[in-house]
Structure 1
Amino acid sequence: VDLRADDVDKKLAHFSQDKKLKGVRHIVQEEPDPEFMLRKDFQNGIGLLAQFGLTYDILVYPNQLAAAVLLTRAFPEQNFVLDHIAKPRISEGPDSEWVHHIKELALNPNVSCKVSGMVTETKNFKWQQHDFSPFMEVVLHAFGWQRLMFGSDWPVCLLGGSYKEVLTIVKDYISKLSDKERAGIMGLNAVSFYSL
């Protein structure tokens, strides 16, 4: 669905008749303008999603996070989820700007975060388990376990690791949490967010 289309309302009305459709996503990471999500035509489409009960997945790079913060503030009734923790450069460790914007984004209670897509953001797809812990610590502290969801990013993840490896990275990290918290992150939070 092109959220910028003049007839986006008609398209959303049509597609939302399928109860298996839960949300939409625009691959904003491919847009050269870091403020693409602040465009009036794009926000017009975003503003229609809630009336159709649709979520919006935010797929961006770290340099687009500032716009994501403003977007999610502008639409407090819309449910958003940040995909792939915004694709930071894992091999370089968390940078202060990414940390700052993740914390700002998490201040908006209508935003959740998918712990996914991390292995493909490593240099030459070379990584160790401990490379991911500082990033997961940031998102867990910012969003809390109630707004985190595991995502496999399969089959794209296969560029950097197997499905089992991706699963193990997250499961090992959250092993310190309670049964309830782990169950939320590994599935129940997604069930709630997407009304599955």
Structure 2
Amino acid sequence: MSQSLKIDAHQHFWKYDSHKHAWIEDSMSVLKSDFLPKDLIPLLEKSNLDGCIAVQADQSDEETEFLLDLAQGNSIIKGVVGWTDLQSSQLETKLETYASRPLLKGFRHVLQDEEDDAYILRADFMKGLKLLSKFSYTYDILIFPKQLSTAAEAVSQLPHQAFVLDHIAKPSIGGNDMETWKKGIKQLAQYENVSCKISGMVTEAKWGTWEYNDFVPYMDFVLEQFGSDRLMYGSDWPVCTLSGSYDAVQSIVTQYISKLSRTEQASIMGGNAVKFYKIQ
């Protein structure tokens, strides 16, 4: 498949369930609804995007099956990042059973919610991560800035594993601690097997009142550290709607990368995702 495809490398689907999606607080009531491919398709078409990567929002094997079923019936979903228990003694067997599901591209664990900032370095978790590369699965790193150093330590031990950092590690946009974030990003970006999604920024800024220039210093730094060949655009829809429309979120990135060459723009807006997730 052509690397000229334009891909939203990070979004979610769910059938809202108050128990399963307990993380959706009352202040996020706009998310207390179903979000399915039929809702995303018009947004992708309007934005001239060819498809998306559906990422887990619930930590269960059922979530992975739910997303794979959606992908099977909707050609806009070019790949799924699911969840599985990386610490399970049965992990290798589980990964073998997934071999017949080519739309499953990788996995993610919600590390940002773990009380232990060094959770990724737990022996059983690292053992699970090591198995992923054997089956050519990717791993999405979902963390806060304070966890960047331990993520870098884990990555340093797994040079053959393909990693991507979600949401530029969720810095407080416009906050006072940009230096801690920059130090951690620099640590992680030194490893060539790590990419970064320019996604999730609007929800880390002042909801609905942010300005384009709020994001420029952060995009400047990830571009400097990762380069245009390791960055991917992602909307984080529907979570992004807490703070901005789909169009507005995309325009932050497209406006920023307009200064780059056409080749670099095409890479960030889809080419890198096609290569990273091995989209066929």
Please give the TM-score of this superposition, normalised by the length of structure 1: 0.97
CA positional deviation for 1:66: 0.7
Taking the aligned partners of 1:52 and 1:39, their CA distance within structure 2 comes to: 21
Q: Decide which moves more: 90-99 or 108-117.
A: 90-99
How far apart in 2 are the matches of 1:131 and 1:92? 10
Partner of 1:97: 180
Taking only aligned residues, the RMSD between alpha carbons, in angstroms, comes to 1.0
Give the drift of 1:94.
6.0
Query: Could you tell me which residue of structure 1 aligns to residue 85 of structure 2?
Result: 2
After TM superposition, the runs of 4+ consecutive aligned structure 1 residues lying more than 3 A away are none
1:188 is displaced (CA, Å) by: 0.3
Q: Distance in 2 between matches of 1:76 and 1:126?
A: 41
1:195 aligns with 2:274: no
TM superposition shift of 1:124: 4.0
Q: Return the offset for 1:123.
A: 3.0
Deviation at 1:16, TM superposition (A): 2.9
Q: Tell which deviates more after alignment, 120-129 or 82-91.
A: 120-129
TM-score normalized with structure 2 length:
0.69
Rounded to whole Å, the distance in 2 between the matches of 1:123 and 1:34 is 25
Aligned CA distance change for structure 1 residues 94 and 187 (closer, same or farther; 3 Å): farther
In structure 2, the residue matched to 1:42 is: 125
Q: 1:99–1:138: 8 Å Cα contact kept in structure 2?
A: yes
Identity percentage of aligned residues? 51
Structure 1 position 97, deviation (Å) = 1.2
Q: What amino acid sits opposite 2:101 in the alignment?
A: D
- 1: CA distance, partners of 2:257 / 2:177: 19
Of 144, 148, 172, 2:227 maps to: 144
1:111 paired to 2:184: no
Separation of aligned partners in 2, 1:124 and 1:104: 29
Structure 1 residues 171 and 39: alpha-carbon distance in aligned structure 2, compared to 1, 3 A threshold: same
Going from structure 1 to structure 2, the CA distance change for 1:187 and 1:93 (only over 3 Å counts) comes to farther
How does 1:122-133 map onto structure 2 within 5 Å?
A: 122-133=205-216
Matched, 1:59 2:142: yes
When residues 93 and 192 of structure 1 are mapped into structure 2, their CA distance, relative to the original with a 3 A threshold, is farther
Q: Which runs of 5+ in 1 are unaligned?
A: none
Structure 2 residue aligned with 1:173: 256
1:27-67: CA deviation from partner (whole Å, max 9, x where unpaired)? 10110110000000100100000111100000001111111
> If each structure's helix is expressed as a fraction of its own residues, which one has the higher value?
1
Instruction: Report how many residues are paired.
Output: 196
Letter in 2 for 1:14: T
CA distance in 1, matches of 2:107, 2:180: 27
Change (3 A) 1:93 1:119: farther
Question: In structure 2, what is the Cα distance between the partners aligned to 1:16 and 1:69?
Answer: 28
Residue type of the alignment partner of 1:131: D
Q: Is 1:13 aligned with 2:107?
A: no
